[in-house]
Structure 1
Amino acid sequence: MGRSVEMKYKRQFPGASPYKDRHGVRRWRYRKGAFSRELGTDYGSEEFLRRYEAAQTEHRTGRKAGAGASQTVPESINDLVASYYRTPEWRGLAELTTKTYRGIIEPFRVEHGTKLVARIERKHVMAILGKKADTPAAANNLRKRLGQLFDHAIALDWIKSNPARLTKAYKIAGDGFHTWNEVEIGQYFQHHAQGTVPHTAVTLMLYTGAARVDAVALGWANIKETAEGPRLQYRRQKTQKSNGILVSIPIHPDLWAVIGDLPKDRPFLATAYGKGRSAAGLGNKMREWCDIAQLPECSAHGLRKACARRLAEAGATAHEIMSITGHKTLAEVQRYTEAALREGLADSAMEKLLSRPNREQTVVNLQARFATNSTNHLKGE
């Protein structure tokens, strides 16, 4: 296991670490100095959380949880999180989404787990978010998760109002991930020729708008022959559990030229050994490939936005863009269409201004008429 992965686990569950037993099964344990307790094999599950909390209590107090005191304080943050993980809302999320959300929720739970939900006020949430003020995107992500947790507390009749929703989101400079422009796309392809995985990866995401987690899974199984020609079809991993809308895209000639001759027994972005890549692995490789092309601001997610930008500039409506990118709401794609429309309208407006005859004379006449009208008005008074 890499050091970065180990650090991630330590941040989510301090003291928890993985190991393999004599049968090669991956297990977890809580260890603080000479103190050690087993956490089981199902990382992040309810049983894992129960054992983790019990181990923390035993290590802190010197006695086992349940021996004279309940392992979880009723209506505490620990109790709330455990209850939230049992809700249909949580169980309906995709595996990758729950993994991401746990990475945000668990550090909060570890720090504030014993506190009573009813005593958490707006000022407390503001203080918690304030610790992340230097990383406003992270603060806003935590605010969203807290909003969901406290909504659940309201449903349980533990509180009457949601303290997280009484706070304001942090302003983020710019527009999130950098959107690749045409110069950057051309520069990237100058460094990564057709036939290489770096070239295939960017072409695939640029002409489908697929997120990393979807791009790594795409292959010939997603190509469907129709009367109109081949189409690429998939359901976004993020929405699979909720039976997300099927994305069905006609294959652009530039994309077909890149994937048409790829092996049919593996994903398009398979490793040199023919194995599928993880979304995180593709993200790391994209960082390397962009650095080689001297594009420090570019990323995989920026390609999804570049696809939407291109469609908007071509005159596609927000709904048309959504049919390609698989967005569930109009809010995100409308930003691209509105930006493209503003630029086009500005060009149209300037052309109209430039086409007006005797522009300078018109301006002079307007000034003269204004002066005359003003004088007459004063005389009339």
Structure 2
Amino acid sequence: MLILDVDIPSRWVSLPSPDAPDFLTKYNLAKRGRQPVPPKQSFSSLIASYKRSHRFENLASRTRQDYDKCLLFMDKKIGNYDPTKMQRRHIIQMQMDNAEKVRWANYLVQVARVLFEHAIDLGWIERNPAKGVSMLKSKKPPRRPWPVDLIEAYRNTAEARALLIFELCLGTGQRIGDVRKMRWADIEGNGINVHQGKTGVDLWLPFTPQLAAVLDRTPHDGLFIISQPDSRPVSYRAAAFAVMKVRKEIGAEEYDIHALRHTTASELAALGLSDELIMAVTGHTSRASVVRYAGAARQKARAQVAQDARNRTKTKREK
């Protein structure tokens, strides 16, 4: 929004949206011919303070990268706004303005919630306006684990790098970002040491027979298990392209790389293993995540046990 400067009629003053928390203040200042002065308690200063805090420093490296994207977005959009005047409706509006990308919109709310907690620590505010804002629900169907027939089809079709990427993801149950960084030196005994970038969790994961077989015939061409010709780790784009090529050949376009992590959790859940044992492989830090990844497989396994018991009881009665 623009308003004509009363002191210099040829100059227009830029104002924020009428819904912005500081709109009236800046509007009245502009009417009196005074330029709005950015407050000391601005979002930019809050973000800068937060990034110097233990809250930010203690985040895992991958999480810091994800937070940085949101913080940069907020700094550009509302950096000069006074966070002490921010209300719940403004958080919801930011979320809705980005609703076309549900995950991004929800992540903005989550990071804003953390940011306002830091503002409380600084004594700027007493209440977190982002707390309690509901998350948007995605209309996309949830990821499903790879079916057994497509796993076998992939193994029978893929070669070299595409098969190595597949077996590392499925065999270890790790995110592709962590799989890409796996080094030959990380191998210990019949397994591999992994440091999860997102959670900061350290794991040792034994190899599956299929993964061990693929690793045995993979040349050690560099530091990284999946390396590029220049010895750097394979890029996400190159890894995704290699896997997608095979997915198209076997009709598995619905099942992406990350769905292999779901597959690992589902296979373990189908065996009746506890949340703790599944988390020991996937590195999840909450049972809620295990339920999201393996809930369907666990329900099927439990239903089978229940029906088997039911059928045994029925058979005994009929004898």
1:263 maps to which of 207, 219, 222: 219
Could you give the per-residue CA deviations for residues 89-141 of structure 1, whole angstroms, max 9, x where no partner exists?
Answer: 21233443322222222122211111110111011111111112232222111
Residue 197 of structure 1 deviates from its aligned partner by 0.4
Alpha-carbon distance between aligned partners in 2 of 1:265 and 1:70, rounded to the nearest angstrom? 60
- Distance (whole Å) between structure 2 residues aligned to residue 341 and residue 178 of structure 1: 13
- Corresponding residue SS for 1:327: coil
Deviation at 1:202, TM superposition (A): 0.4
Structure 1 segments (4+ residues) deviating >6 Å: none
8 A Cα contact 2:162 2:239, kept in partner? no
User: 1:284 and 1:138 mapped to 2: Cα distance?
Assistant: 24
Q: Is residue 76–residue 113 contact of structure 1 (8 Å, CA) maintained in 2?
A: yes
Supply the distance in 1 between the matched residues of 2:37 and 2:212 (Cα, whole angstroms).
58
* Cα distance in 2 for residues equivalent to 1:295 and 1:146: 37
Tell me, yes or no, if the aligned pair for 1:308 and 1:333 is still in contact at 8 Å. Answer: yes
Amino acid of the structure 2 residue aligned with 1:261: R
CA contact (8 A) 1:219 1:264 kept: no
2:186 corresponds in structure 1 to 222
The one-letter code sitting in structure 1 at the alignment partner of 2:248 is D
Q: Which residue in the other structure is 1:349 paired with?
A: 306
In structure 1, what residue type is equivalent to 2:300? E
- In 1, Cα distance between equivalents of 2:44 and 2:144: 37
TM-score, with length taken from structure 1: 0.67
From 87, 112, 137, the equivalent of 1:146 is 112
* Alignment deviations for residues 229-268 of structure 1 (CA, whole Å, 9 cap, x no partner): x22122222344xxx3x31122222111100132335222
Give a deviation string over 1:47-106, Cα, whole Å, max 9, x none: xxxxxxxxxxxxxxxxxxxxxx99963111111111111112212334433222222221
Q: Deviations over 1:203-225 (max 9, x none)?
A: 11101012112111223211113
Q: Distance in 2 between matches of 1:351 and 1:286?
A: 39
Offset at 1:320? 0.8
Instruction: Describe the shift of the 1:74–1:293 C-alpha distance in structure 2 as closer, same or farther (beyond 3 A).
Output: farther
Correspondences of 1:37-116 after superposition (within 5 Å): 73-116=39-82
Moved more, 348-357 or 180-189: 348-357
The 2-side partners of 1:318 and 1:114 are apart by: 46
- Measured after TM superposition, the shift of residue 146 of structure 1 is 0.7
Q: Which is bigger in relative contact order (C-alpha 8 A, separation at least 6)?
A: 2
Contact 2:180 / 2:234 at 8 angstroms: preserved in 1? yes
Q: 1:333 aligns with which of 280, 283, 290?
A: 290
Q: 1:352 to 1:169 in 2, by over 3 A?
A: same
Give the 3 Å change call, closer, same or farther, for CA 333–166 of structure 1 in structure 2: closer
Among 176, 196, 218, the alignment partner of 1:236 is 196
Cα distance in structure 2, aligned partners of 1:117 and 1:189 = 54
Contact 1:318 1:337 in 2 (8 A): no
Q: How does 1:184-333 map to 2 (within 5 A)?
A: 184-193=150-159, 196-225=160-189, 230-240=190-200, 244=201, 246-266=202-222, 267-279=224-236, 281-333=238-290
CA distance in 2, matches of 1:176, 1:143: 21
Q: TM-score, normalised by structure 2?
A: 0.79
**Structure 1 residue runs without a partner (length 5+):** 1-68, 362-381
Q: Does 1:123 align with 2:89?
A: yes
What SS does the aligned partner of 2:203 have? strand
CA contact (8 A) 2:270 2:300 kept: no
Q: Cα RMSD over matched residues?
A: 2.8
Q: Does 1:168 align with 2:168?
A: no
d(CA) in 2 for partners of 1:332 and 1:342? 15
Assess, with a 3 A threshold, how the Cα gap between structure 1 residues 84 and 180 changes in structure 2: closer, same or farther.
same
Task: Give the counterpart letter for 1:192 in structure 2.
Answer: A
- Shift of the 273–118 alpha-carbon distance from structure 1 to 2, 3 Å rule, reads closer
Aligned residues: 283
> Partner letter of residue 209 of structure 2?
P
Q: What SS does the aligned partner of 1:186 have?
A: helix
Identity %: 26
Structure 1, residues 148-185: CA drift from partner, whole Å, max 9, x if none?
11111111111111111131111234674443222332
Q: Distance in 2 between matches of 1:210 and 1:231?
A: 13
1:145 is displaced (CA, Å) by 0.8
- For residues 71 and 276 of structure 1, what CA distance do their matches in structure 2 show? 48
Maintained 8 Å contact 1:94/1:239: yes
